[in-house]
Chain A
Amino acid sequence: MKNKDKPPELQPFFDKNIAGDVVPSIGISMPRIDAYAKVTGRERYAADYYGFDMIWAGVKRAGIPHARLKSVNTQAAENLPGVIAVLTHKNISGSNRQGVIRKDQPVLVDDKVRHCGDAVALVLAEDKETLAKAIKLTSADFEPLPGVFTTETALEENAPLVHEDHPGGNVLLKASLEIGSVQSAKEHCDVLVEACFETPLVEHAYLETEAGWAQLKEDGKLEIVASTQTPFRDRMEVADALGLEPERIRMIAPYAGGAFGGKDGVTVQSLLGLAALHANGRPVKMWWSREESFIAGTKRHAARMYYRLGAKADGSLHSLDTRLYFDTGPYDHLGGVVITLALEHSGGPYRIPNVSFKGWAVYTNNPIGGAFRGFGVAQVTAAMEQMMDMLAEKLAMDPLKLRLKNAVRKGDKNCVGVTLTHSTGLVECLEAVARHPLWTERAAWKSKAGPFKRRGAGIVALMHASGYGPVVPDVANAKVELTAEGKIKVYCGVVDMGQGNAATNLQIAGSILCQNVDRIELILPDTDRTLPSGSASASRCTYTFGNALIGACETLKLRILQRAADLLMVDDCDETALIPGAVRHLPTGREIPLHRLATFMNESERTATQRFRAPTAKEIPPVGNEIRLHGFPHTLFSYGAHLVRVEVNELTGVVDVKRYLSVSDCGKIINPHVYEQQIQGAIAQGIGYALSEEVQVNEGKVLTADLATFIIPAASDVPEIESQPVEIYEPSGPYGLKGVGEIATNGPLPAIANAVADACGVRIFRSPLTPSRVLRALRERLSEGGVH
């Protein structure tokens, strides 16, 4: 009998050794170095840490949205054999508060529960089964409080307060901006359109739920491995919350199994740190279940957005009035920053002389609103880009022409008063869509819809800022080393959560130092080994870190060449060149292997570092200081235009996305595969946002806490996506690059909504566009029209 488990006997076509021979170049698709360990199952994510003598830690969640905590009953759990400890806030000697801007979230509840996912107790047990039992046996006495579950009720006078100590009451942050005069401008508009849009609360649904591993080392150091986007910031947060000196904490961030903003900030870290402090030096593992991730993790803010857009008869935009209400849940997390970025993008990539934008991030007792790819821009783009189509319809104008007419160009002021001094390729993106057969041949395609089908096409124009804005330094520190063995080590300061920046770092270093892949080692973010480089977020990773890395590599290169020139006794290091594993003197062909050269250099000479700080807008726009502190305004933007074709099923209301085109100005591209990955993946997430994803919540309780009821797209739900770049060189970027991580997420919802409106003649102001909502709208229209 043959062994059925033997892998099919086929020769590998491409293995690491072949890839390892490649000297990376900029601008070509090369296999990502991280793919090899991932595709063989050998990559060790934070969730994959297990070890000898390990303890499991888990959390008792409140399960009640708003209540005063009277006591936690730990005795029953403590008596269970196999339980090591049941910890409460009393075991915390630090501030017991976490947060990025406003530190308002307890590690373990002390005074008050503010949402169902709040952590009430931390249980340590010998195994998972005992842990689950002990969590069940742990209980708490609560004095239930009336909660606030919508932004409307939260803003009412006498509404119950989520944070009694917050001077703004339930308003975490009110952001506003006025340019020109909307009031008087309105009279000069020939056309006005008005609407209110609602977008849902959405889960990141990364495949690796929140996970980590911690151990108190013999030297007193607290080592925490976590699936995180922000190891350096985490260290400060954990230190403050637990009352430790930051230097006592070492944060290690392996490749994350997806993050999308949901791991931008502390998830398991403080809990794990606390557990490790009570584990007698034993390692502790925590891994949230999918349900726990839904209940306790952060989400994309649900939003309600009022828009009034005015234009002249020729289609030029004249005034825009918006009011944005974002449900930020019980904690700031990054809610203030999100509403600020939303405000900045709420008028889209257009020139509008008169604007009045107001935004409220509102505390409620719902799940926590936080960072999610798009970061507030996904919501406002959904509104603004539908407004543009509504305006086009009212003006009887082609929606693409309307966008072109108003599109920002380099040198313009955008609608929040920032002069666009960097590359600005929106017009090129829109023109590419206008030329594309998916657009030019849409009428013929639409006319061929089969029975009970309606077809439509929709477009959108996009912009997305990169970086932190003016106040928080958007800084990266790169470090690169020629090792004693003559290899290159790249110390990555920014987490790779799947977006591929680690592989890009290798590509940059390999290209500059002319070393093949096998001679380069990546050191992933580790607060003890790599240098602080900010978060993996804000479409900034490769832009900011890449710039720093280029500088570090160039420094090291020069040092290597100079040292080699000295040893070869030649005058000019211009005559020497790096080749894989060696330096060659070009006129004579003599070579010095790098491992020999390295023996002549001491460690500090073999190491180069470089800091880079991203540029910021120099204009002082008419906003309060509070808004500036939250990152307003930006100077560097990526642009894009999307086109979608949809088919609507008249009998079921199901919307089928048939084709998708994305054209983006994200500068020059370092690795086309990685660029396409970002665009395609973001569009798939955006399609889910448009059609199926909605965390349903009732009185603060999540009703859709699993992947069977929170519906993210599967392979057949995503169409073939064409992703064209408009490669405009951005002088400030590494090799001319701009951020690409987020922009494409913002397109699908408004594009699909516009396409559905094109197909059916109805607009659905509340997303996702579920079969039920679409069918209802379609039938209301049909009955009004007396058809059917």
Chain B
Amino acid sequence: MRDVSLPRSLEELWGLLDRESAAALYAGGTDLLVKLRAGLEDPPALICLERVGELKGVQDELDEVWIGAATTLSTLMEDPIIQRRFQVLRKGLEVLGSPPVRHMGTIGGNIVTASPAGDTLPALYVLGAQLEIRSKDGSRVVAIRDFIVGPGQVLLNRGEILAGIRLRKVQSYAIHHYEKVGRRKSQACAIASMAALLTVSDSGVVEAARLAWGSVGPTVVICREAEAAIEGKPLSMESLKLAIPLVEKAVSPIDDIRADAAYRRTVAGLLLLRLSEYSAGTCSAQ
């Protein structure tokens, strides 16, 4: 039997971590409790963060939006600020798991779990999310792409927690795109995904592009070369096609029971072509 604590404040949490620094932290439990059942982890104690008020909610600050790490995915999905400013994230949330999973799971959990298939991650990468890491002794801020270093691996020291996510409010991108390829329309793990932010001029030229792929490498893959290849060019099939080989080179997918590596590589490139639908004047692709 393991002790399960439900601290109501960070103060209380630090005290618990002092006493049992090897305790496993969870919020929604949709990942950790599955691993415990499968015997993949065996922590001495559990701390559930679902009631730590300081870790919850969406705050509209001056030039940033702060999201508490223990905010549930469904709260976030229904949040007006997220809907207004960060459609790419909302699109990721909409296809993540299923309603009960989104009611339980949290954005912080999705990040710390650091699955290459995490559905919020490509969006957070293109949005340049900054993560607020806190401990009893203070806090630090780190970019998500520096925080996640491998499948299930994040740079979090003992006694540290992911407390919040900061997103810059001023994002000029008019096009927010996320496409997930799964083996089922709900309750599915991505076998490939792509998030994109684009600014397209009135004349149809891509002024800025941010692209990120999920499930095609040990972490979310970004490809500056592909972004550069489509920037300054018309948003057309022709220019998008030119970027495909760059994407195929950047990704490093694996074979697993859900899909083979060759497929993932091909799809990662082909998903770019979907962006051409925006040039046709439609606001949402697919």
Contacts and interface: CB of A to CB of B under 8 A. Distances in A.
A contacts B directly (C-beta below 8 A): yes
Interface residues on A, range: 20 to 34
Interface stretch (A158-166, A468-476, A707-715, A740-748): A707-715
Contacts of B277: 451-452
Interface in B183-223: 183-189, 191-192
Contact of A772 (B188, B263, B276): B263
- Most chain-B CB neighbours within 10 Å: which of A653, A772, A779? A772
B271 interface: yes
Nearest to B282: A451
Dominant secondary structure at the A interface: loop
Contact of B186 (A651, A654, A715, A775): A715
Interface in B241-286: 257-260, 262-263, 266-267, 270-271, 273-274, 276-277, 280
Contacts of B181: 652, 654, 771
Nearest to B263: A772
A775 B184 CA distance: 16
Given A714-B184, A715-B186, A651 B257 contact: no
Interface in A701-739: 703-704, 708-709, 711, 713-717
B271 A651 contact: yes
B245 to A, nearest CB: 14
Contact of B271 (A451, A652, A771, A776): A652
B41 to A, nearest CB: 16
- Most chain-A CB neighbours within 10 Å: which of B191, B263, B273? B263
B257 A779 contact: no
A703 to B, nearest CB: 5
A85 B181 CA distance: 49
A635 interface: no
Contacts of A770: 183, 259
- Most chain-A CB neighbours within 10 Å: which of B186, B187, B260, B262? B187
A490 B107 CA distance: 55
Interface string A134-168: 00000000000000000000000000000000000
B38 to A, nearest CB: 9
Contacts of B98: 714
A703 B273 contact: no
Contacts of B262: 772, 776
Interface in A750-788: 770-772, 775-776, 779
A713 B184 CA distance: 7
A652 B189 contact: no
B257 A696 contact: yes
23 contacts: A451-B280, A650-B270, A651-B271, A651-B273, A651-B274, A652-B192, A652-B271, A653-B263, A653-B267, A692-B183, A692-B184, A708-B189, A709-B258, A711-B184, A711-B188, A714-B185, A716-B185, A770-B183, A772-B262, A775-B266, A776-B262, A776-B263, A779-B266
Interface of B: 98, 181, 183-189, 191-192, 257-260, 262-263, 266-267, 270-271, 273-274, 276-277, 280
Given A452-B273, A714-B98, 10 more contacts: A452-B274, A651-B271, A652-B192, A652-B267, A654-B181, A704-B257, A709-B258, A711-B183, A716-B186, A775-B263
Query: What 7 A-B pairs are tightest by C-beta distance, nearest first?
Result: A772-B263, A716-B185, A651-B270, A711-B183, A652-B181, A714-B186, A711-B184
